[in-house]
Chain A
Amino acid sequence: MGRRVLTPAVILLLVAALALVLGGAIGGFFTERTVAKVVASIPASPIVLDAQYNREKHSITYTIMNPGGLPLTIVEESFVFTPGKETKEKAYIVSHIPVHSVLAPGVATQVELKLKAGTEKLKLGDAVLATFTYVHPLSSDFYSVVHPFKMGVKEGKTAHKQGEEKKAAEEKSSGGK
């Protein structure tokens, strides 16, 4: 008979090693499930990832990310138009545009903001400060995100400006409306 490798000591080590791996996997699995359930019950603030001006439709399309586990619903949009140096259009405000866009959890959704009909197309330097008011299923409060958009300076959107935007959003959302 040949020499056997699987002696009781080796079998014990093998089974012990596999038991450690299995135990780790089971523990990890249940921890992950618990954390996933907790995360799924937290409503997060939406983050505006991108804004694009659509010249044909005269509207701005925002890509809004919902990083949380609960769906958020945008119920209202408002915006402030501030003219740049190149346009003849005057400053105006449109508020309380009722919308109903659901931001599904964990994905980015496109939301369209129609600018005032009959106004001039956006020119370099024009700014649109948009406010999205949203609700989530856990409370009846309203929260908002404010996003500044300046025509032609998409690349120049600096970290400083993004920080400001976030700060403004946080201030608004913590205070509610």
Chain B
Amino acid sequence: MQRFIWWVVFLLFTAFVLLSIFVLTTTVAANPEAVAFVISLMGFWLFANRLIFGFGGIANAASAFVRGEVVDKDRIVGKIAADSHMGRLQKLYELEVVALLGMWRSGLEAFKYTYYFAFFIVLLIATLFELNVISSLVFGPVVKAFMFGAAVPTLIVWGLELLSNYYLAKALEKVVEDAREVVKGEKEALSLEG
């Protein structure tokens, strides 16, 4: 049953992609800006996907941790190590959840900067066209539309990045507070004994 549903979804997706390509190829002559917008939106989203789900996942897991829920370490280890055996070998299961989330975020750092760099290049070229440093009646609007398409996933990535930073800091704060409580408790116990 699951296999059947998978195939149905896969065929629908393929049909959708083929239809989109058909629509794009038929409208490219009349409306090159719209096509540039769609292509850059899809392309940048493809590269942003890892960041969107990464930062979203970090924010979710960290906020669940702050609320005191039990966080599934397996899932986070799966994001950092190749598989659970490798994770066991790297002694990842012995680490705190917050430490694992921090490692996950460090893993996204390279992707983040590459993504922002790509967007910066597109923005730069669009700005050069906008200020007429380079000027072309044909390519100017197309590059601008391309920049707008790229800006949509970039905004989402940026928002999720801020959100994950906030929740990660919150989670760290909670761990530090908890440790302080434990130390305090131990001290009190010692003073009672003494």
Contacts and interface: CB of A to CB of B under 8 A. Distances in A.
Interface string A3-20: 010111001101100110
Contact of B173 (A1, A8, A26, A30): A1
Given A25-B148, A30-B33, A15 B155 contact: yes
A22 B165 CA distance: 24
Interface string A62-73: 000000000000
B43 interface: no
B103 interface: no
Contacts of A33: 33, 141
Contact of B166 (A6, A18, A19): A6
B169 A4 contact: yes
B152 interface: yes
Nearest to B165: A6
A26 B162 contact: no
Interface string B152-165: 10011011001101
A146 B162 CA distance: 66
B107 to A, nearest CB: 22
Interface residues of A, number: 17
A69 B167 CA distance: 55
Interface in B117-149: 141, 144-145, 148
B33 A7 contact: no
Interface in A86-117: none
Contact of A15 (B37, B144, B151, B159): B159
Contacts of B37: 26, 30
Contact of B145 (A6, A14, A29): A29
A12 B155 CA distance: 11
B155 A19 contact: yes
Contacts of A11: 159, 162-163, 166
Given A1-B169, A1-B173, A30 B155 contact: no
Contacts of A15: 155-156, 158-159, 162
A8 B163 contact: yes
Contacts of A26: 37, 148, 152
A30 B148 CA distance: 10
A11 B155 CA distance: 12
Contacts of B158: 15
Interface of B: 33-34, 37, 141, 144-145, 148, 151-152, 155-156, 158-159, 162-163, 165-167, 169, 173
Given A6-B166, A29-B144, A30-B34, 10 more contacts: A1-B169, A6-B162, A11-B166, A22-B148, A22-B152, A29-B141, A29-B145, A29-B148, A30-B37, A33-B33
Interface of A: 1, 4, 6-8, 11-12, 14-15, 18-19, 22, 25-26, 29-30, 33
9 contacts: A4-B166, A11-B162, A11-B163, A12-B159, A15-B156, A22-B148, A26-B37, A26-B152, A33-B141
